Structures are given as C-alpha cells and as structure tokens.
C-alpha cells in the first residue's frame, strides 16, 4: 500500500527499515525469509508485446501459404524491416571482441540522447529463398520513402539479377513503422515502385505485436549485430563495411551502401490519391494483405 518499492532495497536496508518499525531482525534473516518465499534478485526480460490479435495464427498461416506459392513459382520472397538506429562515433557498443590483453578500445564515457548526435538508420531487405540481403544505411529519418528506396536499391543491385524472370514479388513486413499497414505514403510509394518495374507486388503485414517473428530479425540483423559487437561504430563507412562483411556458415551474404538522402517526415497522402492507386486488397484481411501493380494484372 506504500509507494515505496521495498523490493528494490538490499537485504541490509530492508532490515534497517524493519528495525525502524520495531522488529528485531538482521539482514541475513531477511535474506533467508525472501529465499524461503521463492524470491531472488532478477532483472527484466523483454517478452511483453501486447495482447495477441485473435487472427494472429490465421495470418501466419496465410503468409506461409503465399510464401510457398511464390517460392514454388520461382518468384522472390523478402522480409523487410528497419534495424534500430545506431550512434555514430566513439561510443560504447554491446558485446566483446578479441583485443590484445589490457588494450580495450577507448570510447566516450556517456552517450546521452542528443538530437545533434549523428545516427545511422539501417533498413534491410532479406531474400528468404537465396539467404542474401541488403541494408541501406540512412543518415536522416526512417520514413516510408526511405523504406521503399531501400527495397528499390535491393532490387536493382541484387534482386533483379537473382530473379531475371520475376514478374511478382512478395514483401513481408511488420504492422507498424515506416512500412506499417496504415501508412498511406508506404502504400503509395510501394505501388509506384511496382509500376516502375512492371512488377505485381504482394505485401503481407505481420499481426500487431509479432515483430520478433520477422525472419530478417533473426536471420540477418542478429548476425550483423554479432559481427560488430564490442566495436565502436566510428563512422558511416565503418558501419557499411561491417554490414557488408557479415557472413554465416550457412552462406548468408549481405550488401550495403550509404543513403545520403534527407527524407522529409510528415508527408500526407489524400483520400483521393489513395483511391486512385491500383491497390487490390485480398479477401482475407485486406488491411494486412494486398497486391499492387498494373490494374489489368490485378483483376
């Protein structure tokens, strides 16, 4: 009933507080009592992602069916997402790497949030079939325009060569962010990209609260993180180089380049602009699943 969080105190401080209330008790007794009641010192664990959507499992089954159909037909299937922003400079990076004993890399003693501090904005495209990927490293904001340009870069530099006969493309993405299912600019720009390339693009969004199931997270981004662990990301060139040198024993290859464009936030798309786009919602959850491209191909 007290606003005081007793569980954040050490056993010695708990004993002092209890003695102040008239109890005769030592720190060791408090420790033994807590252990006997099943308590232990614990940190937090990141597991909460919000309540499950009732259609979560059905959406995963729907995506799995489309992935099988596209792969069987020799059409590309991608998993796309933005990786967390990274500080650029002599800042501490989680993990450890081999260095001569007693010679750790010196870094700044703080990394407080600073709007003027340079940040890298990685957006990745992972080819599920070929086990290869692309990361555009942005210097400004993670916007829908940046996301679509990253997919465009992947297609021009890797995808088109891997799938010269491709007529369709399946993109799987999270429900929110720069590629969110409510993001009108995302829908407009991914449609424009489809029209540019003469592709019929199908987009499937993972249900809300399931971003950790996005394959790019554990097949590519996690490998990139391990590749630069314990090293300060001193410059954009360092980041691009470390991403591009990421490989695995299973054959993962990653391409990367710096995107120096400055992307504007807050671009609006009107109701009429959206209505004029050749977007075909699927019968099942058309808000999550839709196909874009030339109108005649969508009939």
Same domain, 68 and 167: yes
Assess if residue 193 is contained within a domain: yes
Same domain, 16 and 65: no
pLDDT of residue 92: 43
Distance CA 50, CA 124 (A): 25
The list of the chain residues with pLDDT below 50 reads 1-6, 47-48, 91-93, 95-99, 101-110, 299
Assess if residue 51 is contained within a domain: no
Tokens of 237: 């060139």
The total number of structural domains that make up the chain: 2
- How many C-beta atoms lie closer than 10 Å to residue 26's C-beta? 13
Same domain, 180 and 284: yes
Same domain, 267 and 145: yes
122 neighbors 82 (Cβ within 8 angstroms): yes
The boundaries of the domain holding residue 72 are 56-298
51 in helix, strand or coil? Answer: coil
pLDDT of residue 232: 72
Assess if residue 46 is contained within a domain: no
Same domain, 23 and 60: no
**How confident is the model over 37-79, as pLDDT tens digits?**
888 876 655 544 555 788 899 999 999 999 999 999 999 999 9
Assess if residue 45 is contained within a domain: no
Distance CA 217, CA 214 (A): 6
- Domain holding 264: CATH number? 3.30.420.10
Ramachandran quadrant class, 163 (left: phi over 0; alpha: psi -120 to 50; beta: rest): beta
Question: Could you tell me where the beta strands, DSSP code E, fall in the chain?
Answer: 77-82, 86-87, 119-127, 132-138, 168-173, 200-205, 253-259, 279-281, 289-292
Q: What are phi and psi of 98, to 5 degrees?
A: -70, 130
Same domain, 193 and 281: yes
pLDDT of residue 212: 82
75 in helix, strand or coil? Answer: coil
Residue 14 parent element (H or E):
helix 11-20
Assess if residue 68 is contained within a domain: yes
* Global pTM value: 0.77
Assess if residue 216 is contained within a domain: yes
Rounded mean pLDDT of the chain?
85
Same domain, 101 and 187: yes
Ramachandran quadrant class, 295 (left: phi over 0; alpha: psi -120 to 50; beta: rest): alpha
Assess if residue 105 is contained within a domain: yes
Same domain, 106 and 208: yes
Same domain, 30 and 110: no
Assess if residue 91 is contained within a domain: yes
């Amino acid at each position: 009933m007290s606003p005081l969080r007793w569980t954040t105190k050490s056993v010695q401080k708990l004993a002092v507080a209890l003695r102040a209330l008239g109890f005769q008790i030592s720190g060791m007794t408090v420790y033994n009592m807590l252990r006997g009641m099943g308590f232990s010192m614990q940190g937090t664990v990141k597991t909460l992602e919000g309540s499950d959507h009732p259609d979560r499992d059905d959406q995963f089954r729907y995506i799995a069916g489309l992935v099988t159909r596209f792969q069987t037909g020799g059409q590309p299937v991608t998993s796309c997402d933005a990786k967390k922003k990274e500080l650029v400079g002599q800042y501490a990076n989680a993990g450890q790497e081999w260095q001569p004993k007693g010679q750790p890399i010196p870094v700044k003693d703080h990394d407080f949030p600073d709007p003027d501090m340079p940040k890298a904005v990685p957006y990745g495209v992972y080819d599920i079939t070929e086990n290869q990927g692309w990361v555009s490293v942005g210097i400004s904001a993670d916007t829908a325009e940046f996301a679509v340009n990253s997919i465009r870069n992947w297609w021009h530099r890797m995808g088109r060569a891997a799938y010269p006969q491709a007529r369709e493309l399946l993109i799987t993405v999270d429900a929110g962010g720069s590629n969110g299912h409510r993001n009108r600019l995302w829908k407009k720009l991914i449609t424009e990209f489809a029209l540019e390339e003469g592709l019929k693009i199908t987009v499937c969004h993972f249900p809300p609260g399931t971003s950790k199931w996005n394959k790019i997270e554990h097949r590519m981004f996690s490998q990139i993180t391990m590749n630069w662990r314990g090293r300060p990301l001193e410059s954009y060139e360092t980041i691009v180089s470390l991403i591009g040198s990421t490989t695995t024993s299973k054959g993962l290859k990653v391409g990367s380049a710096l995107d120096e464009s400055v992307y504007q936030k807050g671009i609006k798309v009107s109701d009429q602009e959206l209505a004029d786009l050749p977007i075909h919602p699927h019968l099942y959850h058309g808000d999550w699943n839709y196909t874009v491209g030339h109108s005649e191909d969508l009939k």
